[in-house]
A and B are shown apart, each in its own frame.
Chain A
Amino acid sequence: MSQPLNTTGVHHHAHHFDSADHEFQASKQGMWIFMVTEVLMIGAIFVGYLIMRARYPEAFHEAHKLLNVKLGALNTAVLILSSYTMVRGVSAAQRGNNKLTIRMLMTTIALALVFCVVKYFEYSHKIHEGTLPGGNYTYAELSMPHVPLFFSFYFIMTGIHAFHVLVGIGLMTWMIKRVKSGEITPEFFTPVELVGFYWHFVDLVWIYLFPLLYLLG
């Protein structure tokens, strides 16, 4: 049986790998493939959005004006900054600077939470106004056919993204725990690096969502 930890807390590679580096390379490849599945999943809904947008350009144009570009831009900045702190966290883990790793992961979590809070205000404003998906749309100021469809895509796309942000917060919390346990060393930092991959991906999705939903006129 493979034993990920021995008594000194140092990671040894699992029995079916030749070396720790061999295992690291395999894990990285696995993570890349997982990222591809994410791209396909989100890609499908992007395609759906683009088809409907091409079909009802006026409705989507009017609807997108109801989004708050300032809050969207703020969140974009927050996420880009969080990608920077994540890179620094991963780099600190590679060099064995556990204190800095933990500090950077905590900053990243804080930024992710800021994103969630901003998103919360955006969502509650929309619920209050009634700019809601499909059959739930009740906003009286703009009653054009297919406007509710825009909000269906808005909520689904940003909702799936927000779900990924929450998962990211969970993963980073777990990483802090693992760094604290002394398991992460310059010889074994795979989990931190892979969570870093994941976080950059989540940021990247937002980089596409923001112009597509908020800016495109």
Chain B
Amino acid sequence: MSHSNTATLSNEIHGDNYLNHSKGLKSWLTTLDHKRIGLMYLATVLFFFLLGGIFALIMRLNLMSYGHPVVDANTYNKLMTFHGAIMVFLVIIPAIPGAIGNFVLPMMCGAKDVAFPRLNLASYYIYLFGALFATAALIGGGVDTGWTFYTPYSIRTSGPVILVLLGAFIAGFASILTGLNFIVTLHKLRAPGQSWSRLPLLCWALYATSIIQVLATPVLAITLVLLMMERVFKIGIFDPALGGDPILFQHFFWFYSHPAVYIMILPAMGVFSEIIPVFSRKPIFGYRAIALASFGIALVAFIVWGHHLFVSGQSELANFIFSLLTMFVAVPTGVKVFSWVGTMYKGSIRFNAPMLYAFGFIELFTIGGLTGVFLATLAIDVHMTDTYFVIAHFHYVMVGGSIMGLVGGMHYWFPKVTGRMYNETIAKWSFGFIIFGFNLTFFPQFIAGSQGMPRRYWSQLPEFDLWNRLSTVGSWFLAVGFVMVAYDMIRSARKGPIAGPNPWEALTLEWQTPSPPPHENFIETPVVTSWPYEYKPSRG
């Protein structure tokens, strides 16, 4: 890479960079710089992560022991709805594309910005606007439909359901615009020499994600519009009392919401495809396979939604086909996991925090993925449907996958974003709390679920007390871990040691420019002459 020289020359943290290029709150709120927009996304996402997390802690406290509820049943239903809706629509879906993708993707391409900077800022405000509607519903008394808004209950129940629907509808457009922007950026703004076969794997993962965002989100949009119309104008398309079909709602809803699972997980896979070779000091194993697997997952994502309807009265034949197709997801996913392990094999592994998160990710995501294969199996699913086994499964995928990707990525790019280094000791301890707390919270739920503990219940039977207690205690460890991460990052952003342009000795383009990067990312447009994964093992 041709730029390491200029990068070291202007290594000063006080030089002109995107943080001090212009000053004042207004310069942030009206910025067109993808890096600042990424940080604004990150701050908002983390705020809602805190909110959704607090709801989860209260729910766990409520379930801790039989006969000692801390909230009443109605409040519990609302907490459950908002925990789900906030974590899905306002945290995990925008998290990695909106925050990390926005910051890193243009730099990885060697571009000065995304293709449509104004649209990028608009996407942030649309997201914020959607979030405000959801918050208004929370303040306005709450909603008890669950995040899936199943009909006909969501048509009949009282409360500001429309506000939550509007919130999700609006936030969806932010997701569409981010996806659109990334696709055009990847096609039109790669630096000279940055051919498709040299593109970093995070870019490939975000490309596949963008395709799902662009194709699936509009279907959710129209579904939510129809549901709002049900409530306002009694159109009856989903209402059995008016001749409609509530199962049609489930089909429409999952046609988006199943692919949405891959909107959540693919970017995390991309993040770890960057981290693993850097910290193994070895070329990535199976570059082409990992890139293609992202598209394989994106493709299969669209033809498996019916596995959410195994017990909804779908035909036997449809159940069989969806069950079979669902298992195909495991193939490209397995290709990725084996490629990461292959990359680590005989590498000289550095145990920095981002790499620890990669280990955590592979462990948790593999458990989450394999239990997904259990649930794809009809004979098991009919017994496991609506039990805690399902809850444990998707938390292993979403928290163990996506949130690990977000937090691991935050550590990995922290020196690039702030120009300073996080505290490795705190980072390792917080990782320990998170991985221990996570497994303690969710592994008992597999066991309780397999014994028949139902999901969504406000109160559980005393025979599940042991598992519920373990799970609640685990949630405290998890919370402590995240608080430690927050403490470390807030402190290190101001007081951490100067990191230099490339503390990890990484080869992708964003590391070949000063930290924090200048306003236009590179001092001069980089010319790419090689593949970004030619790592050599260090001596010793």
Contacts and interface: CB of A to CB of B under 8 A. Distances in A.
Interface of A: 1-2, 14-17, 22, 25-27, 29-30, 33-34, 36-38, 40-45, 48, 51-52, 133-136, 145-146, 148-149, 152-153, 155-156, 160
A29 B226 CA distance: 30
B243 A45 contact: no
A152 B235 contact: yes
Interface string B84-121: 00000000000000000000000000011101110100
Contact of A134 (B117, B217, B237, B520): B237
Interface of B: 32, 111-113, 115-117, 119, 176, 180-181, 183-184, 187-189, 214-219, 221-223, 225-226, 229, 233-237, 239, 242-245, 248, 252, 255, 520
8 contacts: A2-B117, A15-B520, A40-B215, A45-B226, A48-B237, A52-B237, A134-B234, A152-B237
A41 B255 CA distance: 12
A149 B116 contact: no
Contact of B237 (A15, A33, A153): A153
With most chain B CB atoms within 10 A of its CB, the pick from A25, A30, A133, A153 is A30
B219 A30 contact: no
A38 to B, nearest CB: 7
A140 to B, nearest CB: 18
B214 A36 contact: yes
Contacts of B520: 15-16
A153 B189 CA distance: 42
Kindly name the residue among A34, A41, A136 whose own CB sees the greatest number of chain B CB atoms within 10 A.
A41
Contact of A45 (B112, B214, B222): B222
Contact of A30 (B180, B223, B239, B252): B180
Contacts of A16: 111-113, 115, 117, 189, 520
A62 B242 CA distance: 18
A214 B433 CA distance: 63
Given A2-B32, A145-B243, A41 B188 contact: no
Contact of B219 (A22, A44, A149): A44
B255 A30 contact: no
A9 B528 CA distance: 36
Contact of A36 (B187, B215, B234, B248): B215
Residue among A40, A146, A160 having the largest count of chain B Cβ atoms under 10 Å: A40
B183 A33 contact: yes
A26 B243 contact: no
Contacts of B111: 16
A30 B214 contact: no
A146 B180 contact: no
A33 B242 contact: no
A134 B223 CA distance: 17
A16 B181 CA distance: 13
B236 A134 contact: yes
Contacts of B222: 41-42, 44-45, 160
A37 B218 CA distance: 6
A25 B223 contact: no
A155 B112 CA distance: 46
A1 to B, nearest CB: 7
Contact of B218 (A27, A41, A52): A41
B184 A44 contact: no
A149 B248 contact: no
B226 A40 contact: no
Nearest to B233: A133
A145 B215 CA distance: 34
B226 A156 contact: yes
Contact of A26 (B115, B176, B216): B115
Closest 10 CB pairs of A and B: A134-B236, A135-B234, A41-B218, A16-B112, A152-B235, A40-B218, A26-B188, A133-B235, A16-B113, A134-B235
Contact of B214 (A1, A37, A43): A37
Contacts of A26: 115-116, 184, 187-189
Contact of A1 (B32, B180, B217, B221): B32
A41 B116 CA distance: 22
B219 A41 contact: yes
Given A22-B188, A40-B215, 16 more contacts: A16-B113, A16-B189, A16-B520, A29-B184, A29-B187, A30-B116, A37-B214, A37-B218, A40-B219, A44-B219, A45-B222, A134-B243, A148-B236, A148-B242, A149-B237, A156-B229
B343 to A, nearest CB: 33
B236 A135 contact: yes
A45 to B, nearest CB: 5
